[in-house]
Amino acid sequence: MNEPMMRLLRDLPSAEPDPTRSERTRILCRARFVARTSASTADAHKQRRGRTQVWEPLLAVVAFAYMAEALAQALRTYGLR
């Protein structure tokens, strides 16, 4: 690196964490997390269950179709069908 760049890097302040700011952030995050989870746990469970009821059978059908086609291709390749 050239000299001016080295000087700029040397003059940068050190990146020390601020313990009070970290604690404030931790407290706020926990408070928001608790508020969000306690308020919407039942609603989120109902929504998730509704989506699960749609996607699980659809995924099963797609997986079965894929495996059936893979098996058919393998049988055709080896001349067994």
Q: Taking the domains of the chain in order of start, what are their residue ranges?
A: 19-77
pLDDT digits (tens, 9 = 90+) for 14-65: 878 888 989 999 999 999 888 877 666 666 666 666 666 778 888 999 999 9
This model's pTM is above 0.85? no
Tell me, letter by letter, the H, E, C secondary structure of the chain: CCHHHHHHHHHCCCCCCCHHHHHHHHHHHHHHHHHHHHHHHHHHHHHHHHHHHHHHHHHHHHHHHHHHHHHHHHHHHCCCC
